[in-house]
Amino acid sequence: MDAGDRPARLTVGVLGAGKVGSALGAALAQAGHRVVAASGVSDNSQRWAADRLGVTPSRPDEVVAAAQLVLLTVPDDALPDLVSGLASTGADLQGKMLVHTSGAYGLSVLDPATEAGALPLALHPVMTFTGRDDDLNKLTGISYGVTAPEVLRPVAEALVIEMGGEPVWIADADRPLYHAALANAANHMVTLIAESSDLLRGIGVDHPGRMLGPLLGAALDNVLRLGIAGLTGPVVRGDAGTVRKHVDALILAAPEAADAYIALARLTADRALAAGLLKPEEAERLLDALGGNIWT
């Protein structure tokens, strides 16, 4: 990025100096901006404010007053009340960049602050944060879902690039679907792998991770390179008998996992059929094995 394209060096405040806020605040500091204030409720947030951001925790109104750019990095459900609270209590929002990092929310959640003169931005980092020391390193090369008024788009994209990320423009109305797609892939993957690990451990496999790691790595590589054409396994082979054995075994061992398996097998069969990887007659046999209609 040319020097002329970079936003001016900004004073930064962080409302919610938790896993995400402390990492993004530190990334902005590495880019040359200056973190001047942060707030946090939990003990971890207050510790990260001091250790990662180098500031003493302050009240939210003090954070807003001190900063030109304010990161709103609170949980999604707390975001509307935070914004409306800032606006209703008379916090000095005029000309301040208010940047929330929620994936599901667009710009409307910032409306009370925008009406008070704030400049609204939504920058969602597509990454998981655990609170470990390597969170900051994870930011290099990741995508950010960016939504902003057109006049602020260059600034939003420049901030993302400065943090080492790639800006991807998301229309305001598409934010919920965008976030659903990410959560479906990342969060549910964790649930599925944890469930599979427990099942393997329950039958005496001491180190499920060693068994699953190479398989999952290959499967992830296949789908990212090939899409649905990278699908393998009994569903795409039309092995209805094997699928039925899976269902029966899961009903006995983990009924809640059986429900998830059936739902995902139906979706897998539906996509395989639409892609021409599964013949209609094979789909019908799978339908019987799964006990329902894959087209409903």
pLDDT at 291 over 90: no
pLDDT, tens digit, 9 for 90 and up, residues 24-75: 999 999 999 999 999 988 888 888 999 899 999 899 999 999 999 999 999 9
Q: Is residue 1, in this structure, part of any structural domain at all? A: no
- In 3D, which of 112, 128, 123, 111 has the Cα closest to residue 157? 123
Q: Look at the chain and report how many structural domains it folds into.
A: 2
Q: How far is CA 123 from CA 39, 99, 101, 120, 227, in A?
A: 19, 7, 5, 10, 27
Same domain, 213 and 268: yes
**Residue 84 is part of which domain span?**
11-170
CB atoms within 10 A of CB 200: 16
The strand pair at 69-72 and 34-39 is best described as: unpaired
pLDDT at 3: 44
pLDDT, tens digit, 9 for 90 and up, residues 214-268: 999 999 999 999 999 999 999 999 999 999 999 999 999 999 999 999 999 999 9
Same domain, 158 and 252: no
Same domain, 38 and 165: yes
Same domain, 74 and 216: no
The Cα–Cα gap between 107 and 122 comes to 7
Q: Which of 170, 202, 227 is the last residue of a domain?
A: 170
Q: Is residue 72, in this structure, part of any structural domain at all? A: yes
Same domain, 26 and 160: yes
Q: Is residue 150, in this structure, part of any structural domain at all? A: yes
Same domain, 239 and 127: no
Q: Is residue 296, in this structure, part of any structural domain at all? A: no
